[in-house]
Structure 1
Amino acid sequence: MLIIFYFRGIFCFAFIFYFVSIYGVKKIYLIKKSIMTEKIKQFLTQLNTEYLSLHQKYEEYFWTSYMGDHSIDDAYQTAQTELENFKTNTSYTEQVDKYFDEVDASTTAKAGQTGSAGQEELKTRLEHRKYFFSLNATPEHIKALKEKVNAYETQLQSDMANWDTGYIDPKTGERIIATNSKMRLIFATDSDEQVRKAAWEGMQKTAADFVPQFIQLVKRRNEIARAMGYENFYEFKAQTEERMSSREIYNLFDEVYRQVSPKFDEITPLEKELPNLRKPWNFSYLMAGDFTKEEDQYFPLGEVIRPWAETFTALGINYQGAKMKLDLLERKGKYNNGFCHQPMPTHYDSNGQKITGMTNFTCTAIPGQLGSGSLTGNTLFHEGGHAAHFSNMEQQDMILNTEYAPMGVAWAETQSMFCDTIFSSVERRTRYAKNTEGKPYPFELFERKVRKLHKIASRSILSIAAIVKFEQELYTANEEDLTPEWVISLAKFLSLKYFGYSQADLWILTVPHIYAWSSSAYYHGYGMATMALHQFRNYFHEKYGYIVDNPVVGELLTKGRNYGSSLGFKELIKTLIGQDFSAQPYIDVLLKSEDEIIETAKERIAKLESVPKSEGEINLNAEIELRDGKTLIASSTEGFDTMCQKFNDFVSS
């Protein structure tokens, strides 16, 4: 009996010792795990804090420079280099890799146990960081070259912005100073063919002036991309921004061209009624110039702010308290195109409180110029869509809440272009667009436009395809072939192939995107967004019957915006509407007959008759400043109606 008790005692003691040992080991493991987790979180917070500071500094100088003040360009270059040094910091890359391996091993070993969900979240955050740093990994010997390219590019942008552009008045022989934006509007709207041709010729000269400098940029971009392990610069941009191969993009646009280019066959016969129609300075005016004049009364420049705000309010688009700076009027030296940038990304403070970012966007409106009101209205919807996207990103790590990679061009442009198709939709125009006498936009005008212009609707996507092809040829060419003569002849050849002109044109070389690193090898994004937004439009019309004044639209857009760049373009489309990305819905619209387009429009307008109009208080949840360079025109803090009136007065003066 004593022996039995003796062994029982030993067994109990051994069991207690074993239990305490296991508990102690587990406790030590949990403590170590907690320390590791906290250390990683602090590291990620440090990265967010440093990135925010560098991003804000860079964006402040970027905006100032692009708005025409180039006195700060040296500081702008320094800020750009500092931001790029952060993105290419190898010690950060190594630390992220180390922490990821530790968390990966921990989550694999302890899957399903208490606390594993938090570890999975940490692993996902580190995975995004790994991807971010891998996109920007740059060999040390290339960093100096990238700095030189940045400086060269900034100088080129400054030279182009301040270049002596204009045209020769055919009646007086006097040289008229005019920006590219103004010359585009002239040969799209002026009733005098000689004036249109003179403006077009002025643009042709400007286009060719900077080709030698542009070629140097192309060569250096390729050199940098190859040093980073990519075949060429276009391949680098395609993989890092779209998570696609350049070949996949090229094939997509080649297929679009194959299906829709036969529509050009309908244009040539029109020259019997419209002589010289296919001359590049005549095409836009003879096809649409009269419509631009007719429509102008429904989009007065001074009154464009309120309709944009009303429409976005009705859609439930919310800027989450963002501060927004809008610089809408053209000035000498200012960047010659609309864009939206984000001086401060959405982020979280040390208490986990969300801090909504700041956005700036711009336009090149010309007071008194025909078509300027419609152009500005379209810009407000387009760039306002970008701003809404930025303001609603909610990822914990700031790198997923910006317009830069890993954000893809196609997804960013889907957000903005979906909004500008609402501006151009006939159901919105007939419902809200009115002239100064209060008369609404007439459906009869829309019908006449469709019957004349639908046959050339494919030119929109083909102009994008032309730039894709142009940049494809540039970045895959042998370096010895990159001469000014070759580049100019390529641009001319593509204008004949993709635009259906009877005379070659250099429009491609006037597209500002191709001259900046951030927006070159980029234009495909507009085309892919056009395809995607038609998928979204079909989805909304099939499920709800209407888009204008539908708050459900805003809800779904906001859901997509919340993801930031944590998912890719194709994943986001699938997540939101349950469809694979496809160009076919858009191609189908282009191939429809005029009667089908008109009948669809009538059905959509009829559907809206049962939907109440947006007549409530404007509530964008944003603090808006309207500026003209350094001049503050008005602010929404004075009241939205007061801001709109002050803008109208400023434009009128």
Structure 2
Amino acid sequence: MKKYLSISTLVLAGLVMWSCASKQEKMENKLKAFIEKHEATIQPLSKEAALAYWNASISGKNEDYATMEELNVKLTTVYTNKEAFAELKAIKESGEVKDSLLLRQLDIIYMQFLGNQIDTTKLARKIKMETEIEKKYSNFRAMVNGKAISDNDVEAILKKSTNSKELQAAWEAHKQIGPLVANDLKALVKLRNEIAKDLGFSNFHEMSLKLGDQDPAEVNTLFDELDSLTRGAFAQLKDDMDTYFAKRYNVKKENLMPWHYQNRFFQEAPVIYPVDIDKYYEKQDLVKLTATFYNGIGLNMDDVIAKSDLFEKPGKNQHAYCMDVDREGDVRSLNNVKPNSDWMGTLLHEFGHGVYSKYNDRNLPFELRTQAHTFTTEAIAMIFGRFSTNPMWMKDMGIIDSTEAVKIADNCHKTLRLQQLVFSRWAQVMYRFEKGMYENPDQDLNKLWWDLVEKYQMIKKPEGRNMPDYATKIHIATVPCYYHNYLLGELLASQLYYHITDKVLKSDDYVNQSFVNRPEVGTYLKQNVFMPGARYYWNEMIERATGEKLTAKYYAKQFVQ
């Protein structure tokens, strides 16, 4: 009897296991069929939309922006399909998908669909508004003394002039974009909030973080920690800057204004240390330097450079970006290169994005053939972008000799530290402004903006100024709720830099690394960061690559302590 019961029990258990396996196999096959159908639509359409964006950002023509808008509507409409979302939701809620690659694709595609389960009329309105506002930013040129000048020209005046009136005129001219887009921006913010609430979120900011696989409370905690970490060091540096600028512009420290800090937003380090890094790049071919560097670390970028658009043109978008057109090797970058250190850093940065995209694993499914998270590609771009002011890198690249490298080393390190702390405080403004704006778009946004600028950047608002200066920052309109990822990227950049120095280059010198002609750096990044793509959640990828989850301690070691 016992033997009979034992056999019966085994048979029953086997049937249960077979039934479970059958359910799992059935659901996974259902998901595979869904993904195959989805990719057949999304792959060619996303490529077409990417190329349309590329063409519009180069030409600035209305017809190209119209094409871009039309394709963006088509692309986004794929994710508004209610029946497809219901099928996807049923698969997800079944809990039967166990295969790790399938499960990861399911999570990614589900979030993409969830974020677009909105009324198609609202969706079309949103895309149209975004296209129109982007066009206004792209086509805007500041008017100084009756002459239209580019953003590069404004930056040049702010950096080089010592005439306060000239500085003020250039700064205020750039700010004239604000009134042109402020009403559009507020309407767009309200529409984004309406869409977020339709999907069950409190506001668009909360939705953006959650759909981006981030917990808003954790991001807040991290930003509070970084505020505490950098506040004292920045205050000391800010006092040093004010002392320097009071002398440079022959004004009292208490009379220094936003236009005295050598940048439209005080998001980049002003030149206060006696080293003019720009002069080293005046006669250099920055594009060739970029190609040589990446080739030397085993990440050839010649094909990417050949497809890129690198210099100024009338009507062309004045900003820089890198795009992965098809996740199959068509990677290209838009820049407006001038022979200076800023553009050297920008090229290294943008082609850092490029190597991440180019060296993906083509054997991965399409949805996983991308970065683990948007800030992980920022981290790679930042590691390389930092080298533009690194004397060891400049020496190893043949830009300066050893004597010059030693001579400027201390001030270059101070400059990089200043850059990081200045940017860190600027990122606080951007993150907290967007959070506050989406929580209450009807408040006095200019007051919110300047309250944050005064608190975190420690810069005074010009007396009596009441203009929509918040609307002059293009990212707020066109890349919403993204800026915090830049700061997370800086943290990861430092973490990866320390790991590469220690474990890959076998060095304990964390200051004088250049990575020049060290192909093992490229090998490490390809194997541990680029090729895994999005197969792991971002913090799992970071832990696999560095042995630790994302931490601020290496950023603090590098720039605060």
TM-score range, shorter chain: 0.7 to 0.9
Match of 1:317 among 299, 303, 315: 299
Q: Once the 2 structures are TM-superposed, how far is the Cα of residue 212 of structure 1 from its aligned partner? A: 1.6
Q: Once the 2 structures are TM-superposed, how far is the Cα of residue 51 of structure 1 from its aligned partner? A: 1.1
- In the alignment, the residues of structure 2 paired with residue 311 and residue 161 of structure 1 have an alpha-carbon distance, to the nearest angstrom, of 31
Q: Once the 2 structures are TM-superposed, how far is the Cα of residue 327 of structure 1 from its aligned partner? A: 1.3
- Quote the residue 1:497 is aligned against: 455
Helix, strand or coil for the counterpart of 2:309? strand
- What is the percent sequence identity of the aligned residues? 17
Q: Once the 2 structures are TM-superposed, how far is the Cα of residue 433 of structure 1 from its aligned partner? A: 4.6
- Quote the residue 1:197 is aligned against: 168
On the 8 A contact 1:166/1:183 being kept in 2, the answer is: no
On the 8 A contact 2:196/2:204 being kept in 1, the answer is: yes
After superposing the two structures, state which structure 1 stretch, 356-365 or 468-477, moved more: 356-365
1:129 matched to 2:106: yes
On the 8 A contact 2:496/2:546 being kept in 1, the answer is: yes
Helix, strand or coil for the counterpart of 1:334? coil
Q: Sort the Cα spacing of 1:185 and 1:510 in 2 relative to 1 into closer, same or farther, 3 A.
A: farther
Match of 2:531 among 551, 554, 562: 562
Match of 1:93 among 70, 85, 89: 85
- In the alignment, the residues of structure 1 paired with residue 214 and residue 18 of structure 2 have an alpha-carbon distance, to the nearest angstrom, of 46
TM-score after normalising by structure 1: 0.72
**Aligned pairs for 1:348-367 within 5 A:** 356-366=328-338
On the 8 A contact 1:189/1:292 being kept in 2, the answer is: no
Q: Quick one: which amino acid aligns to residue 540 of structure 2? A: E
1:466 matched to 2:429: yes
After superposing the two structures, state which structure 1 stretch, 201-210 or 293-302, moved more: 293-302
Q: Quick one: which amino acid aligns to residue 534 of structure 2? A: S
Q: Quick one: which amino acid aligns to residue 280 of structure 1? A: P
Q: Sort the Cα spacing of 1:181 and 1:309 in 2 relative to 1 into closer, same or farther, 3 A.
A: same
1:510 matched to 2:482: no
On the 8 A contact 1:96/1:130 being kept in 2, the answer is: no
Q: Quick one: which amino acid aligns to residue 110 of structure 2? A: F
Q: Once the 2 structures are TM-superposed, how far is the Cα of residue 265 of structure 1 from its aligned partner? A: 3.7
1:528 matched to 2:504: no
1:48 matched to 2:26: no
On the 8 A contact 1:570/1:580 being kept in 2, the answer is: yes
Q: Sort the Cα spacing of 1:99 and 1:153 in 2 relative to 1 into closer, same or farther, 3 A.
A: closer
Structure 2: any 5+ residue segments left out of the alignment?
1-10, 12-16, 508-512
- Quote the residue 2:498 is aligned against: 538
- Quote the residue 2:14 is aligned against: none
On the 8 A contact 1:547/1:553 being kept in 2, the answer is: no
Match of 1:211 among 182, 189, 204: 182
Q: Once the 2 structures are TM-superposed, how far is the Cα of residue 39 of structure 1 from its aligned partner? A: 7.0
On the 8 A contact 2:81/2:117 being kept in 1, the answer is: no
- In the alignment, the residues of structure 1 paired with residue 536 and residue 288 of structure 2 have an alpha-carbon distance, to the nearest angstrom, of 34
Helix, strand or coil for the counterpart of 1:344? coil
Q: Once the 2 structures are TM-superposed, how far is the Cα of residue 439 of structure 1 from its aligned partner? A: 8.7
On the 8 A contact 2:155/2:262 being kept in 1, the answer is: no
Structure showing greater radius of gyration is 1
Q: Sort the Cα spacing of 1:167 and 1:254 in 2 relative to 1 into closer, same or farther, 3 A.
A: farther
Q: Once the 2 structures are TM-superposed, how far is the Cα of residue 306 of structure 1 from its aligned partner? A: 1.8
- In the alignment, the residues of structure 2 paired with residue 136 and residue 35 of structure 1 have an alpha-carbon distance, to the nearest angstrom, of 22
**Aligned pairs for 1:284-323 within 5 A:** 284=262, 288-289=270-271, 294-300=276-282, 303-318=285-300
Q: Once the 2 structures are TM-superposed, how far is the Cα of residue 224 of structure 1 from its aligned partner? A: 0.8
- Quote the residue 1:161 is aligned against: 138
Q: Once the 2 structures are TM-superposed, how far is the Cα of residue 551 of structure 1 from its aligned partner? A: 2.2
- In the alignment, the residues of structure 1 paired with residue 137 and residue 274 of structure 2 have an alpha-carbon distance, to the nearest angstrom, of 29
Helix, strand or coil for the counterpart of 1:317? coil
Query: Which string of whole-angstrom CA distances, capped at 9 and with x for unpartnered residues, describes residues 318-366 of structure 1?
Result: 4697685211222333223111112212xxxxxxxxxx32112111234
Q: Sort the Cα spacing of 1:463 and 1:569 in 2 relative to 1 into closer, same or farther, 3 A.
A: same
After superposing the two structures, state which structure 1 stretch, 443-452 or 200-209, moved more: 443-452
On the 8 A contact 2:275/2:411 being kept in 1, the answer is: no
- In the alignment, the residues of structure 2 paired with residue 418 and residue 454 of structure 1 have an alpha-carbon distance, to the nearest angstrom, of 14
Q: Once the 2 structures are TM-superposed, how far is the Cα of residue 28 of structure 1 from its aligned partner? A: 13
1:57 matched to 2:39: no
1:376 matched to 2:336: no
1:476 matched to 2:455: no
1:444 matched to 2:407: yes
- In the alignment, the residues of structure 1 paired with residue 358 and residue 414 of structure 2 have an alpha-carbon distance, to the nearest angstrom, of 40
**Aligned pairs for 1:603-618 within 5 A:** none
Query: Which string of whole-angstrom CA distances, capped at 9 and with x for unpartnered residues, describes residues 342-393 of structure 1?
Result: 2212xxxxxxxxxx32112111234xxxxx4322221221111111111222
> How large is the Cα RMSD of the aligned pairs?
3.6
Q: Quick one: which amino acid aligns to residue 284 of structure 1? A: Q
Q: Quick one: which amino acid aligns to residue 564 of structure 1? A: G
- Quote the residue 1:151 is aligned against: 128
Q: Once the 2 structures are TM-superposed, how far is the Cα of residue 198 of structure 1 from its aligned partner? A: 1.6
- Quote the residue 1:419 is aligned against: 384
